[in-house]
Amino acid sequence: KQEVTQIPAALSVPEGENLVLNCSFTDSAIYNLQWFRQDPGKGLTSLLLIQSSQREQTSGRLNASLDKSSGRSTLYIAASQPGDSATYLCAVRRGGETSGSRLTFGEGTQLTVNP
Amino acid sequence: ETGVTQTPRHLVMGMTNKKSLKCEQHLGHNAMYWYKQSAKKPLELMFVYNFKEQTENNSVPSRFSPECPNSSHLFLHLHTLQPEDSALYLCASSRVGNSYNEQFFGPGTRLTVL
């Protein structure tokens, strides 16, 4: 059974700092990995999706890397801003199925960026 | 806001009530999902529908009854719920057959069972 772990569970940083969020998964047979952002009481916003054949994806100040063989992904946020405060979720899709994607989620990292 | 909408956004119900949650996607997707998010726990997949056919029921109690009349609409019918069913219920959609199969989520329904 796939298990996804995110470290740290919570993180508080001053504005402007670069930071790294970590995600690890137990079964390396994944199809892709997705990073989401969730604001309090709201739904999920997809940030980046990395296919299993890719090493990294970038969007603006965000960079996500994937090391499938070691079961790890990192989300790098450059020059953090108070608006980045949210919970960041990592989810892996298991490979092989064609009828919809089954995502396994981590518990998330709650990020607070202080002005 | 995304192309996935959910109503109502908040719902309070007693254990003997019957209510329904609604999800609608405007993205032309063909797969839809229900997730449950409880405090301090990872999101849990409940149901998956692909082209209106249920392809997964993740051991969900029968007091939760999904319905997918077409590829754009998904319902979750609730009856005789328990207080521990209080959670944020999230709907998502994706396009099966697309190699990315990226899921897009709605804003969720915050359910409180008294």
Instruction: Give me the tens of pLDDT residue by residue for chain B, a chain 114 residues long.
Output: 459 999 999 999 988 889 999 999 999 998 999 999 998 788 999 998 887 777 777 789 999 999 999 989 999 999 999 999 999 999 999 887 665 678 899 999 999 999
CB–CB of B46/B34 below 8 Å? yes
**What is the spatial distance between Cα B9 and Cα B109, in angstroms, rounded to a whole number?**
4
Contact status of A99 with chain B (Cβ, < 8 Å):
yes
State yes or no: pLDDT of A99 exceeds 60. no
All residues at 6 or more sequence positions from A54 whose CB lies less than 8 Å from its CB, including other chains? A66
Q: Chain B interface residues facing chain A, Cβ-Cβ under 8 Å?
A: 2, 4, 6, 31, 33, 40-43, 45, 48-50, 55-56, 88, 90, 92, 94, 96-97, 99-108, 110
CA distance B114 to chain A (A): 19
How many CB contacts within 8 angstroms connect chain A with chain B?
72
Q: Which of A43, A51, A100 sits opposite B48 (nearest CB)?
A: A100
Please tell me which residue of chain A has the smallest CA distance to B108.
A43
Contact status of A53 with chain B (Cβ, < 8 Å):
no
**What is the spatial distance between Cα A37 and Cα A27, in angstroms, rounded to a whole number?**
23
